[in-house]
Amino acid sequence: MGNRTFAILKPDAIEKNIYGDIISRIQADGFKIIGMKMTKLNERTATGFYEVHKDKPFFPGLLEYMTSGACIPMVLVKENAVADFRKLIGSTDPIKADEGTIRKDFADDITHNIIHGSDSDENAEIEIAFFFNRAELIGNAGLNCC
């Protein structure tokens, strides 16, 4: 079981100025943040990140959403990180998400669902590498922690 996962606070989390509350939830659940930046996806980078969904009917809406403003990609560490984080964020569709999950409490709808979490250890590593160099992660290079 891997101990890293990858998350993105999606543009509505920044637009609504609620990303601090969401980050607090993530920390309170025991995740340590070892990489974080504020950035903005363009059509090319958003398409690259969501390549697997490019033939889905919802893809144009997803692209519009993900390029609509700044987002915050993050690298998170905890034992059993991928599964634990998916549990913390809840189902893709906030209507179906369990009580107390981040998507249940903060997301508007199935497209605008506020946060991304990797679905496997393998994808977590691919997604981390999409946004971060090793040197940008605490513990991997010159960066010191806490």
Q: Which residues are catalytic?
A: 116
Using CB under 6 A as the binding rule, whether residue 113 contacts ligand IDP is answered as yes
- Which of Mg ion, ligand IDP, none sits in contact with 20, Cβ below 5 to 8 A by type? none
Cα distances from 52 to residues 41, 59, 145, in angstroms, run 17, 10, 34
Report the alpha-carbon distance of residue 115 to residue 72 in Å, rounded.
9
Report the alpha-carbon distance of residue 89 to residue 98 in Å, rounded.
9
Residue among 21 and 108 whose Cβ is closer to ligand IDP: 108
| Interaction pattern, residues 76-105, with ligand IDP; x per rule: CB under 6 A | ----------------x-------------
Using CB under 6 A as the binding rule, whether residue 5 contacts ligand IDP is answered as no
Degrees, nearest 5: CA angle 10-14-18: 105
Using CB under 6 A as the binding rule, whether residue 3 contacts ligand IDP is answered as no
- Which of Mg ion, ligand IDP, none sits in contact with 113, Cβ below 5 to 8 A by type? ligand IDP
CB 95 within 8 A of CB 88: no
Residue 14: Cβ-neighbour burial (10 angstroms; 0-12, 13-18, 19+): middle
Using CB under 6 A as the binding rule, whether residue 62 contacts ligand IDP is answered as yes
The tokens for 36 are: 């974080």
Using CB under 6 A as the binding rule, whether residue 123 contacts ligand IDP is answered as no
| Number of residues assigned to the chain | 146
Q: Which of 14, 18, 70, 110 touches ligand IDP (CB under 6 A)?
A: 110
List of residues contacting ligand IDP (CB under 6 A): 53, 58, 61-62, 92, 110-111, 113, 116, 119
List of residues contacting Mg ion (CB under 5 A): 119
